[in-house]
Amino acid sequence: MKRGKHQDVSTEHLPGKAVPEAKQLRKLAGDWLKLRRADAELSQADLAARLGLKYYTFISQVENGFSRVPTEIMGAWANELGIEPSAFAKHLLMYYEPELHRLLFGAESK
């Protein structure tokens, strides 16, 4: 089946800085999450246990920008940090999917 010009799924059109920028944004998100966890007076192990995660090292991976907060536990993560879930998700979307955040919410300030 022939693809239309808007259906191209190759990565050759991505700008060269897309990957480093994504890594930098994940690290910024992780820094923000680490501050929120500290504000909630939770260790990584405490947060992992409350979220039902098998390994606390996953919290470390997220806070260091190597992973993202999974969508399916985003609400629980927000609750454990004492943050309203939709505000938490909206804030993380700014880092994880900046273009989608811009499309949904415009050029709002952080």
Structure tokens given for 110: 């952080």
Query: How large is the average pLDDT for residues 16-29?
Result: 82
Structure tokens given for 64: 């260091």
Structure tokens given for 79: 């609750």
Report the alpha-carbon distance of residue 5 to residue 39 in Å, rounded.
48
Q: State the pLDDT at residue 33.
A: 98
Evaluate if residue 109 carries a pLDDT over 90.
Answer: no
Report the alpha-carbon distance of residue 48 to residue 56 in Å, rounded.
5
Evaluate if residue 1 carries a pLDDT over 50.
Answer: no
Phi, psi of 72 (to 5 degrees): -70, -15
> What single-letter DSSP state applies at residue 3?
P
Question: Rounded to two decimals, what is the model's pTM?
Answer: 0.79
Report the alpha-carbon distance of residue 68 to residue 30 in Å, rounded.
8
